[in-house]
Amino acid sequence: MLPFCLNCGNEKIESCFFCIRCGTELADVAPLQILTPGILLDRRYKIQYLLRESEGGIIYKAEDIRFRTLCIVKELLLNYGDDQDFNNYLRNIREEIKLFCNIRHPCIPAITNYFMQNGRHYLVMDYFEGKSLKTILEEKGNPGLREEQVISWTMQILDVLEYVHNYEPSIIYRDINPDNIMMKDNDKRLVFLDFYISSSDPDAKRKGILPAGDYSAPEEKKGEYSVKSDIFALGATIYHLLTGKVENFSGGKFNPVKEVLTPFKLVSIVEKSLSLNPEERYKSVQDIKKELFKITDTGKRDGTDHLPASSKEIDRIKPEEPVPSETPTVSPKSVESVISLPDVTVDSISKDTPVRTEIMQSAQTEQLPSSLPVEVIKEPVIKPVDNIIDIKKIDKKPGLTGKRIIVSVIVFLIAFIVFIFILINFSTSEKLFKEGVISFKKGTEKKIAYSSNSSVNYNSPITDYTQAIYSFEEYSSRKSRDFRSYYMMGHSYYGIYEIEVLKQKHERTKKSLSKEDLQKSINMFNIALTYNPEYIGSHYYLARSYYDTGEWEKAREELNKSQNLLSSVVDEVNRIKWENNIKRALKGFKIFTSKKDVTVSMCQVEIINKTGINVYIEFNGLNAELISILPDETGYKDLFPGEYKFRIIIDDKLLFSDKVNFEKHRVYTLTCKNLENTFTVFDINDFYK
């Protein structure tokens, strides 16, 4: 085992099983191997298959079974080397990962999670469907690809590099090559698949690691890299895409660019980018963009359609000045014919005739040609109105029937939509519950197989139980008051706990067993009881969970509640079954045997230790006593009669606690050995058929 915690770097671990600083389980680094499909990481990410390997890590396609989405899982290849400053090493890695986590660019997958398992570090990123540029070249290259397509891709890559190079602090990508860049199927945009964590290997400079392989700049062999290193890798990528030829760019072993790329517009850009001397390359990607705009006429409107220019370049392009149109001359006669002013005077209108005036606004006059005579439009035009409808005289009663019909139709439509929604929601909810039950059954079957054969995949039943939990969780979000989902989640968490117990048994390890899943099981059963406090099964299996945590007082209390509910079970066969289950479970609490002895003045406790290690018994009642019993030894203690609470502590761990009532003139014998859980195993068929 490594002499430090792989999660926080704590070196004060001594012979502990868990780190006293962060609580992480202490373990050696698991051997490096390709993960097989179906393995579950972090109880959430189910590996589907390997995508690619690189200097920085191994990349898998996986399924997030919590949200039922696809994702990328990258296993970082960390080299702890001979550096003893583990805290500083882990801090540098986390700082660099944090830097990449804050990046938000449409062409860079977002990092959504970071976790550690079995001493290995993993990143989770967004997944996109598409093909790498290398695959496209192999499928469509003749031998290379069309220059117009390569120019469009180059502009997108330049946008990404401009973003990361101008980031604070600046980021050097160092892994630009056709196999690491993918074109998405949905919008045909490019996206970078991977990035290199430079701090993951302290010996990278000595080893001369090239993250992009033959596409890396020559100076990276010396451990030196800058913005110009990414420019070199970009030039090598363009060269490969245009020619289809694989060259050793990092070794400088490639044909002269002018000889190979003479017919292409990009020849000057590629030649300067591939200079072996970094000082002779472009200083920044902005310089490449400027030259690319020149050689492709991107300043014109008809040449920018295929190039997704960045926002900065778009801001620099000034729009063309609009050409002022000539104002047509209009004669007064033509205006009169268009406007058609009526031959109406004020005198011709009767005083009793209701009128409506329409005055042409000044804004309208401004729109008329300047040659229009002012006399034509300066006078307000008055138009007579033949009929005026008096709104007060309208009879509203006939319209009421129509309004009622409209309202009725609307109400009916709303009711129909609500009914359809409820129907769909019910159908979807039941489907989710059935899916959870199916996953639970699969997990139980695999758990039984694992109990008898340790070679069975340990993760497989855990995956099924976890999938069941997510299905029941989603069901509970739709039907929050249905106790069944919480009841089944309680059994699923308990199933995971049982698998951990079996694993410990198979591996014969003495490491303390985590009871996190057992506590979650207790929480779920308690929630189920809040919605259905009369269900006997919830009380019974809650008692079973309390029993395994060592809280025997609570376990016996829940058993008593389930016993009181026996009378409410209508079916006689079912009631007899539960009665037998409860009686069987109560036998597991009878760890004291007693016999009457009048020679004993008070009461006496005899403790027999058959565990093989030291046992401590703590009694709290009329008098408090702490008794220590060595392995394979027997101890005696006289106590006053009465009720006592006691705790049994083995190997500094609380085994269980309970209470007992000691009577006068009796000798009680307590044999410390492996305890047997006498509760009945849950049968899903009894609950859900």
182 vs 367, more confident: 182
Q: Distance (Å, rounded) from C-alpha 190 to C-alpha 437? A: 42
Q: Are strands 190-192 and 653-662 parallel, antiparallel or unpaired?
A: unpaired
Structural domains of the chain sorted by starting position, each given as residue range(s) with its CATH number in brackets? 141-194+203-316 (1.10.510.10), 333-384 (no CATH), 416-533 (no CATH), 591-672 (2.60.40.1120)
Average pLDDT on 102-120 reads: 88
Question: Which stretches of 479-618 are DSSP H helices?
Answer: 483-507, 516-531, 536-549, 552-564, 572-586
CA torsion sign for 535, 536, 537, 539 is positive
Residue 17 pLDDT: 58
Tokens of 450: 């694992």
Residue 529 pLDDT: 94
User: Which tens digit of pLDDT belongs to each residue from 637-689?
Assistant: 888 899 999 988 887 777 888 889 999 889 999 888 777 788 999 998 888 86
Question: Which stretches of 38-146 are DSSP H helices?
Answer: 86-101, 133-140
Which residue type does 532 have?
N
Tokens of 676: 């047997």
Whether 196 shows a pLDDT value over 90: the answer reads: no
Percent of the chain at pLDDT exceeding 90:
37
Whether 321 shows a pLDDT value over 70: the answer reads: no
Q: Give the three-state DSSP class for 618.
A: strand
Q: Distance (Å, rounded) from C-alpha 15 to C-alpha 21? A: 14
Identify the residue whose tokens are 């696809």: 70
Strand order from edge to edge, sheet including 57-64: 40-41, 45-53, 57-64, 69-76, 120-126, 111-117
Residue 152 pLDDT: 93
Whether 614 shows a pLDDT value over 90: the answer reads: no
Confidence of residue 428 (pLDDT cuts 50, 70, 90): confident
Give residues with Cβ within 8 angstroms of 565, minimum separation 6: 534, 536, 539
User: Which tens digit of pLDDT belongs to each residue from 485-512?
Assistant: 999 999 999 999 999 989 888 887 766 6
Tokens of 401: 């029937």
User: Which tens digit of pLDDT belongs to each residue from 7-23?
Assistant: 665 665 555 656 656 66
Confidence of residue 378 (pLDDT cuts 50, 70, 90): very low
- The 3-class secondary structure across 204-269, one letter per residue, is HHHHCCCCCHHHCCHHHHHCCCCHHHHHHHHHHHHHHHHHCCCCECCCCECCCHHHHCCCCCCHHH
Average pLDDT on 137-155 reads: 92
* pTM exceeds cut of 0.75: no
User: Which tens digit of pLDDT belongs to each residue from 620-642?
Assistant: 887 788 888 888 899 888 888 99
Which residue type does 649 have?
I
Mean per-residue pLDDT of the chain: 80
Residue 224 pLDDT: 87
